């Protein structure tokens, strides 16, 4: 039960961290593409 509830609570911050890393990497890629195409990021 401890393991199950521990997982139930902590899986959300872990997922949040995963999405945070994914978004940061994607933004860096967006920035690189925008520079290469000589246009603005937004």
Partner 1 sequence: MNSASLHQFSTPTILLLMLAFYGGTYLLTLGIRKKKEDADAFMVSNHRIGFGIGAASMTATWIWAASFYAAATSGYTYGVSGPIHYGLWGALMILFIYPFGRRFRKLAPNAHTLGELIHARHGSSSQLILALSNVLGSVISLMVNFTAAGALVSVLSPLSFQAGVIIAGVGVLLYTLWSGFRASVLTDFAQLVALMAIAVVIIPAVFFAMGGPSELVAGLDNLTAEQADFFSMDAILNQGAPFFVAVLAYAIGNQTISQRLFAVNEEHIKPTFLTATVGYGAIVIGLGMIGLMALTLGIEPLNGDMNNLIPQMVSSYLPPVFIALFFILVIGSLSSTADSDLSALSAIMMADVYGKNLARGKADPQRMLLVGRLTMIIATAAGIVFASFSLDILVMLVFVGALWGAIVFPVIASCFWDRITNAAFTTSVLVAMVMFCLARFEWLPLAGATGLLFELLASIGGGVIIGLMVFGFLGRTMGFLAGILALAAMLVFATGFLREYTVLLASLTAYGTSTLVCVVMSLASRQERFDFATIGERVGDYDHIQGAPAEASRRQPTPPKDATPLAGQR
- Using CB under 8 A, list all residues that contact partner 1: 1-3, 5-6, 8-10, 12-13, 15-17, 19-20, 22-30, 33-34, 39-42
Rounded Cα distance, 35 and 7, in Å: 42
Provide, rounded to whole angstroms, the least separation between the CB of residue 36 and partner 1.
12
Cβ at position 35, least distance to partner 1 in Å = 12
Q: According to DSSP H, which parts of 1-42 are helical? A: 2-36
The whole-angstrom separation of Cα 32 and Cα 42 is 13
As measured in angstroms, the least distance from the Cβ of 28 to partner 1 is 7
């Amino acid at each position: 039960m401890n393991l199950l509830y521990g997982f139930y609570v902590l899986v959300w911050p872990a997922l949040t961290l995963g999405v945070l890393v994914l978004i940061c990497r994607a933004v860096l890629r967006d920035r690189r593409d925008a520079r290469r195409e000589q246009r603005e990021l937004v």
